[in-house]
Amino acid sequence: MWLRRLLGGGNSNDSRVLHLYVACNHCHTPVHVRVDVYNDLTLEYDDREQAVGYVLRKEIMDARCFRLMHAEILFDTTRRETWRTVEGGVFVDESVYNQHIATTQK
Ligand SMILES: [Zn+2]
């Protein structure tokens, strides 16, 4: 099974990967996006130039209607996710995505 669920936290290399599942508002096709939290995030500063955390802004496109979705995710300084939003789509569970794959790949 190539979509084996990652259990637990730990310090394995897998913990640096954040899996996003977003469904397009228009065609409802779910998309899976991998984020490397050690490479893909941008450090943000406040007006006193203190690091306040990280931000990820990502454009996501589904393979059906090809509309762009814009995800924005905030992290604290330890790269832990604190907030997320997506324009043009909604975040869905991994199970929704797996279901989609199961019904489209026969
Ligand atoms: Zn779409």
Instruction: Give the pLDDT mean for 42-62.
Output: 97
47 CA distance to ligand 1 middle (Å): 38
Distance CA 58, CA 25 (A): 16
Query: Which carries the bigger pLDDT value, residue 75 or residue 106?
Result: 75
How much is the pLDDT for 104?
87
How much is the pLDDT for 14?
65
75 CA distance to ligand 1 middle (Å): 27
How much is the pLDDT for 15?
78
30 CA distance to ligand 1 middle (Å): 8
Give residue 105's pLDDT band: very low, low, confident or very high (50, 70, 90). confident
78 CB-contact burial (10 Å; exposed 0-12 / middle 13-18 / buried 19+): exposed
